[in-house]
């Protein structure tokens, strides 16, 4: 009842098993534990912890300003709130190879089920912006080998993200992906592919699980779950969707309160107290409380 009912180890095993089915796994972004609980309530396959959403929620741009301790703390809180596997974005691994190794062990301890490391130079940029700079293929492979070597739970998923599509073309991105698989990456995240044709070419060239990033306002065409499944993609993330939905609702609501002097016109658009309490399982906590404090002084 207190957060997830599954252990981190069991969630990792289940995540690995789900990947082997070939089914497309859908991971909406969750920027808070409460959002993760809502993702589970709606029957999705997993939860994604976006670096962009996390940094935005801290009032920072997505340029590598967050720290390992901040990301692990928020990621751990989100992972503990759900029985779904949580996959987290750790940007460039917070440094070089040794830093990436420490990052993996910190995330394991926090209860995450996997992460992805990217091949950008730090400070990084949002994957759908122009003028990104990359480390060499060899430097990224070394970081992946260090991350894999530091892993203590064999089921913790280590994914390599490549941002090479923009600067080195599709063939360059595929070459990097193959090198990262050779270095030990369990899965590949090819960032900012344009359309179905590029995903299909990547799928034909790379034999490990692939992730598709269906972020709004980016460089990738927004493909449906059926289209991605037909292409053989294994995981799809919607990284900042819930944050964007929430922020737009907040902006509209605050504007209405400022204009009208009350929130009365907005009540019908709100999650009710009863709905929130149901999600938080207030009644179960109350029963537990009565069972524990059942004595008289």
- Segment 176-211, tens digit of pLDDT: 999 999 999 999 999 999 999 999 999 999 999 999
CA gyration radius for the chain? Answer: 20
**Segments making up each domain of the chain, as ranges:** 8-240, 247-292
Burial 27-43 (b: 16+ CB within 10 A, else e): bbbbbbbebbbbbbeee
Residue 285: active-site member? no
- Separation CA 275–CA 267 (nearest Å): 13
Which candidate in 14, 119, 186, 191 is catalytic?
191
Q: Residue 128's pLDDT is what?
A: 66
Residue 89: active-site member? yes
Residue 122: active-site member? no
Which candidate in 91, 108, 163, 186 is catalytic?
91
Which numeric CATH code is attached to 8-240? 3.20.20.60
Residue 126: active-site member? yes
Measured CA distances, 150 to 115, 158, 198, 222, 276 (Å):
13, 11, 33, 36, 40
Chain segment 100-149, per-residue pLDDT in tens: 999 999 999 999 999 999 999 987 767 566 667 899 999 999 999 999 99
Q: Residue 68's pLDDT is what?
A: 98
Residue 131: active-site member? no
């Amino acid at each position: 009842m207190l957060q997830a009912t599954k252990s981190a180890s069991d969630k990792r095993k289940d995540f690995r098993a789900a990947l082997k089915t070939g089914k497309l796994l859908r991971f909406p972004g969750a920027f808070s534990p409460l959002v993760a609980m809502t993702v589970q309530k709606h029957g999705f396959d997993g939860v994604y912890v976006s670096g962009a959403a996390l940094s935005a929620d801290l009032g920072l741009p997505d340029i590598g300003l967050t720290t390992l301790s901040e990301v692990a703390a928020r990621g751990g809180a989100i992972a503990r709130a759900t029985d779904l596997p949580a996959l987290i974005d750790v940007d460039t691994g917070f440094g070089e190879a040794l830093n990436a190794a420490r990052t993996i062990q910190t995330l394991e301890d926090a209860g995450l089920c996997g992460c992805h490391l990217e091949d950008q130079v730090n400070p990084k940029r949002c994957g759908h912006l122009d003028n990104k700079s990359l480390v060499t293929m060899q430097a990224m492979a070394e970081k992946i080998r260090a991350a894999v070597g530091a892993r203590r739970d064999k089921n913790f998923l280590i994914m390599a993200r490549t941002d090479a599509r923009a600067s080195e073309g599709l063939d360059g991105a595929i070459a990097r992906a193959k090198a990262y698989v050779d270095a030990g990456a369990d899965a590949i995240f090819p960032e900012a592919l344009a359309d179905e044709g590029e995903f299909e070419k990547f799928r034909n060239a790379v034999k490990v699980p692939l992730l598709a990033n269906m972020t709004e306002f980016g460089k990738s065409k927004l493909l449906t779950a059926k289209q991605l499944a037909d292409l053989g993609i294994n995981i799809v993330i919607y990284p900042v969707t819930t944050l964007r939905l929430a922020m737009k609702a907040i902006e509209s609501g605050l504007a209405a309160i400022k204009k009208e002097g009350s929130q009365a016109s907005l009540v019908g658009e709100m999650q009710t107290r009863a709905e929130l309490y149901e999600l938080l399982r207030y009644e179960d906590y109350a029963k537990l409380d009565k069972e524990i404090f059942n004595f008289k002084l």
